[in-house]
Homo-oligomer: A and B are copies of this chain.
């Protein structure tokens, strides 16, 4: 076993979060902008539900910030993924490539469509899906014809791939887009964690046919619970709105619906919080970057561990900061988790690899050696934006 300086890790966390009283959470929202004013406006006007100005405004702000043409606000990132997959044409019996190293929602959404996740490996450079390894894998399992891509072994159509920008760090999107083009596979970006993260200068969410965001309470911005479906395709954008709002045909009084629709609409009161949060997003990102820089400097001096930095082609939001234990020290991961949590610093490991969960253990998977290695070594550390400083205050 290598030398891992657990005491050093705790001291580093203490130094960087000093001035913040009590237990330090992993990611806590900051609600110091217009949240009150906008929510009170909802309550005073009684427009708390699905009619009201904040949903439209929130969707416009998201589209403007990310540069994706259309954003449709929904109750969370999971439901956003469900509809994005449906609109990308994922059908019962299809296979969809999903990184083994992601939050369970990525694979659950595939299952909601009656399709089957097929797990793929990650790369240490991004912590996300490895496009080169995927291409090599496809060479050995895929058959391409007019109908698209078929898995020669399962006989199923491989309809889509869902890169997930883990902890905010963008996947190598250009390389993945090439693979998708070559093999006629649709890309759906799971950008749940990457609001404010850019790949080669362009915001994540612009590469997929559709993409999704999340505004869960632990995300860079929050709406309590919330998410969005994003797309540059106007028709898909309209369909996303229609399907997530019960597929009702507009009429002055009639209640008539033309598809099996979903009730995934974000209430106006949650969108009101979202508008106020979006106003503060640029500052949150500056603070989070400042925090990441401080972590990076500080952990350079700690033995047995490395602070994970954004890939060279990316500017990340550093949603959840990542410590990577050295190969030699991975057996001490739970010791680090226990010691830090005991000291009031909320830390956590990555998600258990999805192919190890009972409901997905029989799904196909490629060699997952990198993901298996990473999951043993990743420790997320406190990352709330208020732990960093805004430019003006440095």
Residues of A within 8 A of B (CB): 28-31, 35-36, 39-40, 42-44, 46-51, 75-79, 103-105, 108, 111-112, 114, 216-218, 222-225, 246-248, 252-263, 265-270, 273, 337, 341, 347-352, 357-359
A261 and B108 form a contact (CB under 8 A): yes
Bound-state Cα–Cα, A263 to B79, Å? 8
- Contact status of A49 and B224, CB under 8 A, knowing A78-B262, A261-B104, A270-B269: yes
A359: chain B residues at CB < 8 Å are 257-260
A252: chain B residues at CB < 8 Å are 337, 341
A265: chain B residues at CB < 8 Å are 225
Bound-state Cα–Cα, A28 to B351, Å? 43
Known pairs A43-B273, A77-B263, A255-B349; list 5 more (Cβ under 8 Å): A36-B43, A51-B217, A75-B225, A78-B263, A252-B341
B49 and A108 form a contact (CB under 8 A): no
Q: Tell which of B104, B257, B268 touches A357, judged by Cβ atoms closer than 8 Å.
A: B257
Bound-state Cα–Cα, A259 to B360, Å? 9
CB distance from A152 to the nearest CB of B (A): 27
Task: Please give me the residue from chain B that is nearest to A79 by CB atom.
Answer: B263
A43: chain B residues at CB < 8 Å are 31, 35-36, 39, 273
CB distance from A21 to the nearest CB of B (A): 14
